[in-house]
Structure 1
């Protein structure tokens, strides 16, 4: 069974994964979101998912090296780097930096595999985007 299928059992979505080396240690990070319009993840969600996937990762580890598992939320202002990230963030305010050095803060209205559309009327191809993250007015 895949990790995505296990996440669905807990009403979660795997947002992203990374295998990072910090000092002498490898850390396998799994970022999760709620599979609903209320995307806030609790510590309890992270713990339940970690317990559910640990036996599977024992059999199929992400690396041949010894590693630590971290399951967490990607945060309120999370990076959007894949079309799937944009699709999961529809309806949220985003801060987009274009390759032409323009910065746009607007609501993300739609996203497909090639473009995003913002509430201010901007349509951008992913190739024209330098970076994007969800944005919270503080």
Structure 2
């Protein structure tokens, strides 16, 4: 089968993430797409229309499932270096294990991200956090 990223490029969008979740006794295969200028409903529809016949022949998961295509949203999970690099300058909430082995957290601006660590800063401090210490991270919006 053709690579998912290559298929999405045919629709003019990029792959942010894909996940399989179970909600209300249903299996959902969810694809998050991104595009400069934002993702429209038409973009989601075009991707779904492209993938549906392919997945009818080669399903992405075992058993019955529902395909969902959407944008990752303004408040989105950050799971890998690519996500962090794309989010530099945005507000983030990071839960991590500190140098004492304890659970900790910080909210602030994602100042930097490379292949090994991120830097998050706020009015009080600036922290460098290795990826292997991050338990959960997401962008957030102050309303």
TM category, shorter: 0.7 to 0.9
* Runs of 4+ off more than 4 Å: none
Please report how far the alpha carbon of residue 94 of structure 1 lies from its aligned counterpart in structure 2 after TM superposition.
Answer: 1.1
Residue 110 (structure 2) pairs with residue 130 (structure 1): no
Task: Describe the shift of the 1:88–1:10 C-alpha distance in structure 2 as closer, same or farther (beyond 3 A).
Answer: farther
Higher mean alpha-carbon deviation, 45-54 vs 102-111, is at 102-111
Q: 1:4 — aligned with what?
A: 5
Structure 2 counterpart of 1:114: 116
Larger radius of gyration: 2
In structure 2, stretches of 5+ residues that fail to align are: none
- 5 Å-filtered alignment, 1:12-23, equals 12-23=13-24
What is the TM-score with the length of structure 1 in the denominator? 0.83
Task: Provide Cα deviations, 1:26-54, integer angstroms capped at 9, x if missing partner.
Answer: 211111111x3x4x322111111111121
* SS of residue in 2 equivalent to 1:90: coil
Quote the offset at 1:123 in angstroms: 1.6
Match of 2:106 among 104, 107, 110: 104
Matches within 5 A, 1:73-88: 73-88=71-86
Q: Distance in 1 between matches of 2:8 and 2:80?
A: 19
Shift of 1:109: 3.1
TM (norm. structure 2) is: 0.80
CA 1:96–1:21: 2 relative to 1, 3 Å: closer
Output one character per residue of 1:32-87: Cα deviation in whole Å (capped at 9) or x when no partner: 111x3x4x322111111111121221222112312111001222111112222212
